[in-house]
Amino acid sequence: MSEFVSGGRYEECQVTTDWLLSRTQVRPTVGIVCGSGLGGLAKMIKDPQVFKYSDIPNFPKSTVHGHAGQLVFGTLKGKPCVCMQGRFHLYEGYPIQKITLPMRVFKLMGVETMIMTNAAGGLNQDYKVGDIMIIKDHINMPGFAGINPLSGPNDDKFGVRFPCMSDAYDRKLRQLAHDVATELGYSEFLQEGVYCVLGGPSFETIAECRMLNRLGADAVGMSTAHEVIVARHAKMRCFALSLISNRAVMDYDSQEKANHEEVLETGRMRAEQMEKLVSTMVARMEHNDNSY
């Protein structure tokens, strides 16, 4: 057994689940993961109960500026909910099974639908900074090198050895997002496209951006896809949004440079509308029902 033992085993996840369930009355059916600068979603949760990651057994610690590093339980638009304010990334040095452990804990707590947000660089030249992209599919670059959260022994208690990923991003939830965005007047900055995940923490080179764009990626980031893989393995529905926080540099004559401060500033600029979109979607979602 490898480092898989130190992250994501059923027994380990059950210990964490039991610890949380014994400390909150909330039994969440919706899980939300907040990306860089997008933690404000957690502020919309009514009657919040907050647990620092550092206090939760087996949880990694969030080390990234802009990630609060806490779990918030409560209700969002009347739905019992758990929200991660800050997530974990490969570049923080954790085994990939460890950074996706919260997905399995949420499954054991009764979560049926996962909603993820992230900040991403725009590869599609039609995208503008501040656009919100519904993720319809992903390209898992680390997976090409064998870095996959499902590597190691499969635990049948969570899912099958070879889970399907052609339906990773729920079609009905994506349609719901379009419907809500139209009602709210957000259609002009709403996109739908393919997200490519890289390991980070260095931003992409110009040559890498050009290559990824030619491969069919519309946006690039350092998270989300690993969580989606584990959530889908455990048969949770997934929906994900990327906030286009910067335009990927494609031109060698360009003076533009990607930086984390720009990511956080764009998050602040668009956060309120993103929160409204997600909360309205949650209000429309029916408990354990696919007919919105």
Q: Is 65 a catalytic residue?
A: no
Q: Is 246 a catalytic residue?
A: yes
Q: Is 154 a catalytic residue?
A: no
Q: Is 222 a catalytic residue?
A: yes
Catalytic residue among 260, 262, 265, 269: 260
Catalytic residue among 222, 240, 274, 281: 222
Q: Is 10 a catalytic residue?
A: no
Q: Is 89 a catalytic residue?
A: yes
Catalytic residue among 3, 6, 68, 92: 92
**13 and 104 Cβ atoms separated by less than 8 Å:** yes
Catalytic residue among 42, 58, 89, 114: 89
Catalytic residue among 109, 114, 119, 219: 119
Q: Is 36 a catalytic residue?
A: yes
Catalytic residue among 58, 62, 140, 223: 223
Q: Is 207 a catalytic residue?
A: no
Catalytic residue among 42, 58, 67, 84: 67
**124 and 191 Cβ atoms separated by less than 8 Å:** yes
Q: Is 138 a catalytic residue?
A: no
Q: Is 92 a catalytic residue?
A: yes
Active site residues: 36, 67, 89, 91-92, 119, 222-223, 246, 260
